Structure 1
């Protein structure tokens, strides 16, 4: 017996999957046959996965506007990553594996076994909701998961990323048709096919001509195929448009519609070309800034060494002072001698006591001056250290801002690369040259008009 395997990407409606409401293609009387593997609150799972990394990230921020209060809300409001992903798996179709038939029961058994080791097999895809549905035309499995990566150098060290999560599972992106996701889906199909074979079912591979879960899912898949075909048509149309543009410019027979379409492409290419030029300038600026930062860092290290030397001198001065103070306690010359047997009080005062008091006054005066000097040195050193800390903080903020700028510019370069892959590098360069020629022609047409107006 042979059966097809269908793996689709769903929008991820947890309420629908848990049957908090019923769609037209479900049979509520058979919903009791559905299997719930897990149904966790996605926000709780986000706290479990990312709270510690979020705390570490926020601790490093010196600016309040860079702190993240709620990572889940940030991902939902952003455009780079989806908060979670869903895949839907099915064996056969409603004609050969209907949910009410024995073959449908066998399909449910195979899908159940497949689900048992899904999380263990995909540790970087945190499953928070999973259901086996038996109340539709064909048994099928919904799996909702949060892809995440650890050890990231940018942003949170643990963050949401489908590309990185799949890369950690061993799937490296290649061509447009061999993305990380496509490679992973292919591997999951192979795993499902192994379980099917254990139950006497061989995988019938039909390329893209698969049977589907239901009329609704069939329509979704058809729409996805239509979108893919439209993308190919658009890609081909762009190449055709470029050829038509070149021919029309050469022959001087441009139509209004072609001018509008070529203008849109020209603006896009000009924008990306300007971005590329800006990226080069920014790269040069960042290189210079990096060299300046390295130079300033060396200066700071030298200043730090100098400060440490001065502090060591202060410590040595303190040790010398402590030894001198100890000498005042034990040295004979700092002790008041006993009066002689026949020495009068006046003679004892003038010859013994007063000279010692004068010496002590001189010592106290020198120590006071030294203490004032040391306090002033300490104040200056503290001010220097504070100034260096503030300077380091400013440099850190500047480096982080530059990293953000690099990320944005890299995204623009990626956009230019996408355009080159659609149209071809030579075609893009040709359009850029044509755009420059059109701009020069427009400027040339405007110059006589301005000269004429000035002459009037």
Structure 2
């Protein structure tokens, strides 16, 4: 049975490096496609998933200046906890488990099997990014996770970021100075990895390790590594913001397409309404002709010359009245009553058509206003999309010309410069007397909370 060492250590947490957003010198570009991505999620989205409900519970009944508006920003700018942690696991080294060799392929198989049960085994370590790299000297795993604890009874939120408490909930209580919860947990994971190795006929070769006294050069080198790690986390935050901006561009483009479809539908409705109005106008003209004919008939009926029949020789007056005059007047009465009923019926029908015409005309005018408003909104969205595309294009061009590291370093330095200027301005504005400083501090805190509330309201409006 062959023997191999097992390495388990904390990593720098460079997500851009893990994703291969840039190719480092120790990476073989021809083997990048062999890397395995188990999970790659946006860190801000993971924070919302884990902590948004806890934030809402915590803010109930709190003063505005004590409420948490954004837990991600709170952890990012705080000093007690890190946004996330990274561990790296590897079997053997470049001499005995090199990438591309049969031994290296076996290492990949064992690491893959180890990763399958990792999240189930460590439920309080929320994995959001995990890659198995096969494009460097030796296959190895990068596992990035957010440690959190639920049901917390102490101060603060009941669900919160905490590496110590997350590992304690998994059964690692910590001990002496170098026997921390994290070291205990890493050693336990190495044992699990070794059990999988045994199933593949590889024995864990354990070697005692200790950290030698660092000379001045190596000490400075280690301190610089810490600074680089912090900068990489800041860069990751900036990268997340850029990804969010690109996502906004996609949303705006989709909204533009939806609005153009709505505009086309309104245009079709407008054409249909126009045809109906034209049809109504034709019917109205026909009604006018009918009404004119009725008026003529009424006028003619009023000009009828009544020619009474001649009375017969020796004809009695009663006979003349009953047999000739009465039938004639009855006929005239019935004719006039029929005309009057017809006039009333046609007048009512004309009023119905007139009301329908005016309603359709009003709907048509309203549709025209909606079309104009939609067109204006579409133009505005089009301008916004074009502006965002120009900004995105300039950013991508700058990345190609200067490289991601240079650009993000410049952005980070500019952010630090702005913070320094703001801090200097704040100190210059701060009153000298203690009492005045306290009042001044309360006013600044209220202004900050009001601004945060406005920003949150604005973001919600954009999401709607």
TM-score range, shorter chain: 0.3 to 0.5
* Structure index of larger Rg: 2
Q: How does the TM-score come out when normalised to structure 2?
A: 0.45
The TM-score, its normalising length taken from structure 1, stands at 0.46
